[in-house]
Amino acid sequence: MMQKSIIWVSNYSNTMKYLHFLLVIVIYGSTSISLPGQMLYNNDNVEVHILDENLFLLKETFRFTANILAISGEDGLLIMDTGFGEVSDDLKDAVNFLGKDVKVIINSHLHGDHKGGNKSFGEGIKKIAHAKCKEDFQTEENYFIGIIEKYCFTFSGIEIVCIPFAGGHSQCDIIVHVPDMKLVYLGDLYLSESFPLVDVGVGSKAQIVVENLKEIVHILPDDTRIISGHGKETSTGELKSYINMLEETIEIVRSAISKGASVQEMKDSDILKEYGQWGDFFDFITESSWIEQIYYSDE
């Protein structure tokens, strides 16, 4: 087992201010300096980046990039989402690098790219998800907490606030707000570099994504660091701009529908061309698919 410690250096001099949060990593007796965001470890499918003193991003690069968060403390590790099951061994190796046992898993929702690795961490771990996901955790029921309203608990002295939502991305989304760390994890309710993915087939709706995100913005201080299920880290201000983009694009599509346009006509006329950048991040969430999602949300 690798001997390592991560030392947080907060008493830095003025001349070193540009480094801001300076970290010293000691591995096998050798010392190296890392900055927030820097990659500390990687294997074939997972990278470990340090974001803050006790906060780590485990970036899964299998199929498409997914964000898994780990909070490390005296109670062990709290993990937000567990990625694809196909690469759970790589996730486990990345978690092992952090040197503590996983004690809590929070699943933002039940899609396979967010809960596939749960089982690799074994039994006896407290698992938290939306109550509507309960059937997915039957074999581990003793440890499952299904929430239908705001649920707060303390982990390593840090307040963790889980808030359920339904009908935006999926039918069982929850977000994780950590006020002490000025952090929120939004799962796939917010794809920070892409149009949304609305699970219209199970009754989710584009407009509910907007309503959910407006509710979330309302509770977040302006200096909150926002991590989404996929895509770059953003801020409260960027989330507000994203909501504006959603409202504008929904209005454009609804306006065209009211004038009798079909889905195909809207695609052919490229009515969301001005917003094209939001359709480039995933190859399966394009301008055309966002038009379809809005159209079928209103049916």
- Closest CB 113 distance from Zn ion, rounded Å: 4
What would the two tokens of residue 21 be? 């949060």
How many CA atoms does the CB half-sphere of 140 hold within 13 Å?
22
- Closest CB 185 distance from Zn ion, rounded Å: 12
Among 83, 229, 231, 279, binds Zn ion (CB under 5 A): 229
CB 116 within 8 A of CB 84: yes
- Closest CB 228 distance from Zn ion, rounded Å: 9
Binding mask 89-128 for Zn ion (x = CB under 5 A): ------------------------x---------------
C-beta closer to Zn ion: residue 84 or 155 = 84
Site membership for Zn ion, residue 173 (CB under 5 A)? no
C-beta closer to Zn ion: residue 40 or 206 = 206
Site membership for Zn ion, residue 199 (CB under 5 A)? no
Window of 25-33, 80-88, 225-233, 260-268 that interacts with Zn ion by CB under 5 A: 225-233
CB 25 within 8 A of CB 6: yes
Site membership for Zn ion, residue 168 (CB under 5 A)? no
Through-space distance between the first and last CA atoms of the chain, rounded to whole angstroms: 56
- Closest CB 114 distance from Zn ion, rounded Å: 5
C-beta closer to Zn ion: residue 115 or 127 = 115
34 Cβ neighbours under 8 A, 6+ residues apart: 23, 24, 25, 40, 50
- Closest CB 265 distance from Zn ion, rounded Å: 30
Site membership for Zn ion, residue 60 (CB under 5 A)? no
Site membership for Zn ion, residue 188 (CB under 5 A)? yes
What would the two tokens of residue 286 be? 């394009």
What would the two tokens of residue 23 be? 């970290």
Closest CA to 173 of 194, 191, 154, 195: 191
C-beta closer to Zn ion: residue 177 or 230 = 230
C-beta closer to Zn ion: residue 40 or 127 = 127
Window of 47-55, 121-129, 184-192, 237-245 that interacts with Zn ion by CB under 5 A: 184-192
Size of the site for Zn ion (CB under 5 A): 3
The contact set with Zn ion (CB under 5 A) reads 113, 188, 229
